[in-house]
């Protein structure tokens, strides 16, 4: 009888130790959740606030007015002769390069003057 009680006691100690370890390992996660307001949240912006007018519309594409922005990173929706696709960029030159890459992947390269 004594050995059964000692085994039960050891099991309870091990379980308690495991729970303590799990609780302490979750502290960084709980701390980051508490500080979540420090991070950027997406906001909707108008494309004309970000890109120049000559980039917003071309002969074979048009960028939708609503742009979802995470600080400096912008998510655009482009409607083109090749279909609708998403472009993510942080500056107009990178946006243009990504659009040309998307167009060239569809078999046609368009360069507007």
Per-residue pLDDT of the chain (113 residues; tens, 9 = 90+): 555 556 667 888 888 888 888 877 877 777 776 665 656 678 899 999 888 888 888 877 888 999 998 877 888 888 888 788 888 887 765 666 666 666 656 555 444 43
Same domain assignment for residues 54 and 96: yes
- Residue 112 belongs to a domain: no
Report the pLDDT value the prediction gives residue 25, as an integer from 0 to 100: 82
Beta strands in the chain (DSSP E): 43-46, 57-58, 61-63, 66-70, 73-80, 83-89
Q: Which domain holds residue 30?
A: 2-37
The reply to whether 44 and 96 lie within a common domain is yes
What torsion do the CA atoms of 111, 68, 75, 54 make, to the nearest 10 degrees?
10
Cβ(40)–Cβ(70) below 8 Å: yes
Whether the model clears a pTM of 0.85, i.e. scores above it, the answer is no
For residue 54, the model assigns a pLDDT of: 80
Q: Is 100 found in the same domain as 48?
A: yes
Task: Give yes or no: residues 63 and 22 share one domain.
Answer: no
Q: What is the pLDDT of residue 11?
A: 83
- Give a yes or no: residue 113 inside a domain: no
Q: What is the pLDDT of residue 98?
A: 66
Is the domain of 45 the same as that of 31?
no
């Amino acid at each position: 009888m004594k050995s059964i009680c000692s085994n039960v006691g050891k099991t309870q100690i091990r379980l308690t130790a495991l729970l303590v370890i799990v609780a302490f390992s979750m502290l960084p996660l709980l701390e980051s959740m508490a500080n979540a307001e420090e991070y950027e949240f997406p906001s909707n912006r108008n494309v004309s606030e970000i890109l120049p007018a000559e980039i917003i519309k071309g002969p074979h594409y048009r960028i939708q007015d609503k742009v979802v922005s995470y600080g400096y990173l912008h998510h655009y929706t482009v409607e083109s002769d090749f279909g609708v696709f998403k472009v993510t960029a942080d500056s107009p030159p990178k946006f243009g390069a990504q659009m040309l890459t998307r167009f060239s992947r569809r078999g046609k390269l368009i360069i507007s003057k």
